[in-house]
Amino acid sequence: KRASSVTVRVWRLADMIKRGPGDYSKSWLYEWDTLGLTDSTHPTQGIASDGETIWMVAGNNDIHVPKRLQGYTLHGSLLFSDGNLKVGRAQAILDGSGSIYEPEGLALFYNGGRLILCLGILSGDLGARHTRIYEIKDYRQ
């Protein structure tokens, strides 16, 4: 497994909307590289932000490959890293042959004034796949 990094760039959406259509590819506010998130068995699978923290998840569909979740400040300082994320894994083992467990995107939503980080998980055999959304608890470690 060759380690690699992912370059993350942050723009302010309100500024882009205010300025209208155009090429913003070189006008980011912050740019940084991830630390130990991705490699040949851990492609980036999702990214979400609340405007202060950026969460990223990585991993392939092999149930035996640990999934990774990291949180960064907008400026790129690593806040936390979980190299063995198991959200939804117990259910994935019960789906079909129990060999497919793939993170498929991150999302944030407010419920009762509380911000909740959610992760989509794909599991099950070809032709009988399941996609479930799980809350990731204690993600602000």
Identify the pLDDT of residue 139.
Answer: 63
3-state secondary structure (DSSP) of residue 46: strand
Q: How far is CA 85 from CA 53, 105, 121, in A?
A: 18, 14, 12
Question: Residue 122, CB half-sphere, CA atoms under 13 Å: how many?
Answer: 16
Task: Give 127's contacts (C-beta < 8 A, 6+ positions apart).
Answer: none
CA 108/CA 6 separation, integer angstroms: 21
Among the listed residues 44, 54, 50, 64, the one whose alpha carbon sits nearest the alpha carbon of residue 104: 44
Cα 52 versus chain centre, distance:
15
How much is the pLDDT for 82?
Answer: 94
When pLDDT is cut at 50, 70 and 90, the band that residue 140 belongs to is: low
Confidence at residue 141, expressed as pLDDT on a 0 to 100 scale: 45
- Model confidence over 15-48: pLDDT tens digits? 999 999 999 999 999 999 998 999 999 999 999 9
Looking at the whole model, is its pTM more than 0.85?
yes
Distance of alpha carbon 67 from alpha carbon 59, whole angstroms = 5
- CA 75 to chain centroid, in Å, comes to 17
The pLDDT tens digits of the residues spanning 45-101 come to 999 999 999 999 999 999 999 999 999 999 999 999 999 999 999 999 999 999 999
